[in-house]
């Protein structure tokens, strides 16, 4: 009986099967919990990365905005008309600052009145301050704050904002500091992951074109001696024609009013030799410098076959007759023996970094880059793209040949206007800012007025030409890849300081970057 009971193993398989099922179930449940936890972690990491990417997009949006509006008064919390409109108008309709009241300028003054924003409840961001935009399936919220900097004037252009600048020794006129705070939300309604970035950027001015009338081609004054030029020197890789005044032995250039580059000596040692008169005193008035010839008359041949037309005196004006003859042959040659003492020889070959001009040679007071041999290289291509981006941010990029621009898009306000692959004729009287024509030509119509800078980039043969047809006023200066034809006066009414400031295009660079996980 007992032996039968011991040997009877029926039912054990079922018990073992049940035990195994229970064991597998427990292990499966544990594994499922682990997988679910890991899956949730992956989702959270992805959401966090998405939120961080969106926050970074907000930083880049703020950086692009600073390129077109870097007035520090626009990024503090002072809400007075005098503060908000002291320097320049706000760009766009957004308020990037933490101020709840901002003033807008529609005509250079605070005639736009105050804009008062109220908080929108029920959101994790404040829509009354800063900028909140949908992006990539989520949302970013960005504020920009200015910093206090050395030698800030009274009243302070940056009050109740980010505090002292990271580099307290830097003056705002040299580089401005801005704090960008961008919060990224992985979902549009603010739920899900949240990441924050704090970045400090500096906005400094960068030269994009020489402060002069400059072309690697020819400059031709067609006024027949009636033209006058003042405050500006003119530089050409080839010839400059028509510089003699209507009276005998006179020049169309104002030799007494100080011009940009004054004696042409430049602080970075691109040109170490100044223009001086026979007594050794600096010459600061307008002058002409040509790699070919400076010729008296526009309607006579301007080449070596007609030396009676040469006009460069080796004091005010310089060309290949006052020294080094060919741009393509940079070997220094002896000064022309007929020049009065002291002699100054020209060296209009491209400047090479680290190779300053010898003391008895004079050259461009700026870096001509490779434009003499490659007119397309008039301006750094990267900077051209930045200017195009600035114009795009303001909504003023145009493609192809354009109809005559009879009215400036924002009368009286400085904007960046970019034309790609076409010609532009300007006949407005209320324009200001920067006009860039790339792979096309530009015409300044008669009786027009523009305050700013014109840059015309092309191959120098069929594109890149600049033409002023008479009585049109460019209150600034121009760089062009091709020939310039000028009929009418070039006498900017702006001060030397104002003319120089026209050359300032903001170079916005990262100073510091910090990621904050919330």
pLDDT tens across 125-157, in order?
877 788 999 999 999 999 999 999 887 887 788
| pLDDT tens, residue order, the chain (518 aa) | 455 555 555 666 777 777 777 777 767 666 666 655 655 665 566 888 999 999 999 999 998 888 778 888 889 888 777 777 766 667 767 889 988 888 776 555 566 677 776 666 677 887 778 899 999 999 999 999 999 988 788 778 888 899 999 887 788 877 889 999 999 999 998 888 999 999 999 887 666 688 899 999 999 999 888 889 999 999 999 999 999 998 878 899 999 999 988 998 876 667 777 888 877 888 999 999 988 889 999 999 998 888 888 888 888 888 877 753 323 323 223 333 344 444 444 443 433 444 445 555 778 888 888 898 899 999 988 888 888 888 887 889 999 999 999 999 988 777 889 999 999 999 999 998 889 999 999 999 999 999 889 999 999 999 999 999 888 899 989 999 999 999 989 988 876 656 655 555 566 778 888 887 65
pTM for the full predicted model: 0.65
pLDDT at 121: 67
Q: What is the DSSP string of 135-180?
A: ETTEEEEEEEEE-B-BT--SS-SS-SSS-B-SSTT-BTTT-EEEEE
Q: What is the DSSP letter of 73?
A: G
Helix (H, G, I), strand (E, B) or coil at 230: coil
271 vs 149: CA distance, rounded Å: 34
Confidence (pLDDT) at 78: 81
Q: What confidence score (pLDDT) does residue 242 get?
A: 94
Alpha helix stretches (DSSP H) within 357-474: 381-394
What span, in angstroms and rounded, lies between the C-alpha atoms of 26 and 160? Answer: 61
CA distance 390 to 66: 10
- How much is the pLDDT for 328? 31
DSSP letter at 357 equals P
Q: What are the beta bridge partners of residue 512?
A: 200
| Total H helices, total E strands in the chain | 5, 24
What does the pLDDT read at residue 68?
Answer: 74
Residue with token string 């195994």: 20
What is the pLDDT at residue 42? Answer: 56
CA 442-445-450 angle, to 5 degrees, is 80
Residue 253 β-bridge partners? 229
How far apart are the C-alpha atoms of 416 and 436, rounded to whole Å?
Answer: 8
Specify the pLDDT at position 110: 66
DSSP state of 336: P
Q: Which H helix or E strand runs over 42?
A: helix 12-68
- Whether residue 95 contacts residue 143, with contact meaning beta carbons closer than 8 Å, is answered with no
The residue behind tokens 């904002």 is 161
Helix H or strand E encompassing 23 = helix 12-68
β-bridge mates for residue 514, sequence order? 198
How many residues belong to the chain?
A: 518
The conformational region for residue 160 under phi > 0 = left, psi -120 to 50 = alpha, else beta, is left
């Amino acid at each position: 009986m007992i032996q039968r009971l011991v040997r009877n193993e029926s039912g054990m398989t079922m018990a073992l099967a049940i035990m195994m099922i229970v064991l597998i179930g427990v292990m499966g449940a544990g594994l499922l919990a682990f997988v679910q936890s890991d899956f949730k972690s992956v989702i959270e990491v992805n959401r966090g990365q998405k939120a961080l990417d969106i926050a970074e997009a907000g930083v880049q949006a703020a950086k692009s905005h600073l390129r077109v509006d870097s007035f520090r008064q626009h990024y503090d919390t002072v809400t007075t008309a005098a503060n908000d409109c002291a320097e320049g108008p706000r760009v766009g309709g957004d308020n990037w600052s933490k101020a709840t009241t901002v003033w807008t300028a529609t005509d250079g003054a605070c005639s736009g009145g105050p804009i008062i924003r109220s908080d929108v409840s029920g959101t994790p961001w404040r829509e009354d301050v800063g900028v909140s935009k949908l992006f990539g399936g989520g949302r970013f919220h960005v504020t920009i704050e200015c910093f206090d900097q050395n030698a800030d004037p009274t009243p302070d252009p940056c009050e109740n904002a980010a505090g002292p600048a990271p580099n307290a020794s830097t003056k705002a006129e040299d580089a401005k500091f801005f704090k960008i705070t961008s919060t990224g939300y992985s979902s549009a309604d603010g739920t899900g992951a949240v990441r924050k970035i704090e970045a400090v950027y500096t906005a400094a001015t960068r030269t994009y074109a020489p402060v002069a009338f400059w072309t690697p081609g020819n400059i031709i004054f067609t006024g027949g001696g009636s033209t006058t030029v003042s405050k500006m020197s003119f530089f050409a890789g080839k010839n400059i024609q028509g510089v003699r005044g209507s009276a005998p032995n006179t020049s169309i250039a104002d030799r007494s009013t100080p011009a940009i580059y004054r004696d042409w000596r430049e602080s970075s040692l691109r040109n170490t030799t100044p223009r001086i008169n026979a007594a050794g005193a600096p010459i600061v008035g307008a002058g002409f410098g040509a790699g070919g010839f400076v010729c008296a008359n526009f309607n006579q041949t301007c080449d070596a076959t007609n030396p009676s037309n040469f006009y460069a005196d080796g004091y005010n004006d310089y060309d290949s007759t006052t020294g080094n003859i060919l741009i393509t042959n940079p070997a220094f040659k002896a000064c022309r023996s007929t020049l009065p003492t002291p002699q100054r020889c020209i060296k209009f070959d491209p400047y090479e970094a680290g190779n300053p001009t010898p003391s008895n040679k004079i050259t461009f007071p700026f870096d001509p880059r490779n434009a003499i041999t490659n007119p397309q290289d008039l301006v750094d291509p990267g900077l051209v793209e930045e200017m195009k981006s600035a114009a795009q941010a303001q909504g003023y990029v145009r493609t192809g040949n354009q109809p005559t621009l009879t009215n400036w898009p924002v009368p009286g306000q400085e904007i960046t206007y970019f034309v790609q692959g076409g010609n532009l004729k300007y006949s407005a009287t209320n324009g200001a800012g920067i006009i860039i024509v790339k792979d096309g030509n530009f015409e300044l119509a008669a009786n027009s007025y523009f305050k700013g800078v014109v840059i015309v980039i092309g191959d120098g043969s069929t594109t890149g030409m600049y033409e002023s047809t008479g009585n049109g006023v460019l209150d600034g200066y121009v760089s062009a890849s091709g020939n310039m034809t000028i009929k009418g006066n070039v006498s900017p009414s702006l001060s030397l300081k104002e003319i120089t400031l026209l050359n300032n295009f903001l170079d916005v660079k990262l100073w510091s970057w910090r990621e904050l996980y919330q």
